[in-house]
Amino acid sequence: MKTRLSYKLLITAAFCLAMIGCGTIASTAKPSPDELKSIYASANKAYSEKNYKLALFEYLKLSESITTDAVVWFRIGNSYTRLENYNKAVEAYEKAVLLDPRLSKAWHNMGVIQLKQSVNTWRQMLTYISKDDVLYDKALSLSKKLLEIADDKQAP
C-alpha cells in the first residue's frame, strides 16, 4: 500500500514538473519590434567595441526572430570570423548570400576564409607527405601562390 502511494506521488510529481516545463516553453514570446531594435543596437555596439562574443550572442538572438535578414547573417559571419571560428563564419556567410545573392561583402569574406582554409590544407599536406612524393612540388607551388593571394585579401 505504501509502495503504491509512493509510486503515485512520484508519477504525479513527474507530471507536474513536465507541465511546468511545457508551460515555460510555451510562454516564451518573440521580442517586440522595440526589443528587436534594442537587441540590434546592443549587437552593433558590442561589435564596434570589439566584444565579439556579446555581439555574436545578440546577432544570433536576432536571427531567431528575423530569419530572412541577410545583414544579420553577414554580421554573425563577421563575429565568428573575429572569434576565429571560421567554419561557422562560412556557414553564416552562406546563409547571408542565400538570402541576398548581391551581398558582395558576404561573398568576399567567405571567399577570403575559404582561400585561407585552402592554403592551410596545402600546408598540412606538405607537413605530412615526403619531399619525394610526386605531388610535393605541386603542393608547394600552389601553397605559395595561394598564400600570396590570401595575403592580398582582407575582410572588410
pLDDT in tens, 112-150: 999 989 988 988 999 999 999 999 999 999 888 888 887
* Domains in the chain: boundaries: 1-30, 33-152
Band of pLDDT at residue 43, cut at 50, 70 and 90:
very high
Evaluate whether the domain defined by 33-152 bears CATH number 1.25.40.10. yes
Q: Judge whether residue 48 has pLDDT over 80.
A: yes
Q: What nine digits make up the cell of 10? A: 512520484
Q: What is the model's pTM? A: 0.73
Helix (H, G, I), strand (E, B) or coil at 1: coil
Range scoring the smallest mean pLDDT among 44-48, 79-83, 91-95, 146-150: 146-150
In the chain, % of residues over pLDDT 70: 79
Angle between helical axes of 52-65 and 33-48 (0-180°, round to 10): 150
